[in-house]
């Protein structure tokens, strides 16, 4: 009896962990897509190079962006989403622009953070009980 219950518990915990991983992965992708959308909306545009370079990376994969040399480098961190650009003049637009674009990444981050928190929290909501 005890062995059957233990096996059952183990199976259910295993299913729970698998579901949470799947939900979290989907939430990270949605978070990344929203982040890229927000930062693209806030990016200043002249040629479009900076805006089109915005992409997100999860566990070694980069999604989005156009020219490979402009898109973000792959992030190897697990269960982490990184949004950004690799365009060489990105930092100087962010920190030194005198045309009102200064801080566009920070603005995007401040808007994106509560959205990301909500999406990740939702991933853990409907996991169901064990036992």
DSSP sequence for 71-109: BPPPP--TT-EEEEB--TTHHHHHHH-SSS-TTHHHHHH
Q: Which of 12, 59, 102, 120 binds other proteins (CB under 8 A)?
A: 102
| Stretch of 7-15, 22-30, 44-52, 102-110 lying at the interface with other proteins (CB under 8 A) | 102-110
Least distance from other proteins to the Cβ atom of residue 43, Å: 12
Q: Counting contacts by CB under 8 A, is residue 98 touching other proteins?
A: yes
CA–CA separation, 105 and 101 (whole Å): 9
Residues that bind other proteins (CB under 8 A): 42, 91-92, 95-96, 98, 100, 102-103, 106-107, 110-111
């Amino acid at each position: 009896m005890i062995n059957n219950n233990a096996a059952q518990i183990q199976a259910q915990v295993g299913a729970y962990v698998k579901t949470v991983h799947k939900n979290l992965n989907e939430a990270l992708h949605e978070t990344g897509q929203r982040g890229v959308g927000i930062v693209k909306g806030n990016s200043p545009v002249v040629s479009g190079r900076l805006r089109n370079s915005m992409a997100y990376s999860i566990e070694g994969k980069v999604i989005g962006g156009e020219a490979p040399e402009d898109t973000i480098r792959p992030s190897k961190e697990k269960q982490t989403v990184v949004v950004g650009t690799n365009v060489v003049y990105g930092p100087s637009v962010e920190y030194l622009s005198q045309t009102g674009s200064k801080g566009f990444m920070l603005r995007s981050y401040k808007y994106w953070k509560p959205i990301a928190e909500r999406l990740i929290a939702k991933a853990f909501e409907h996991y169901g009980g064990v036992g």
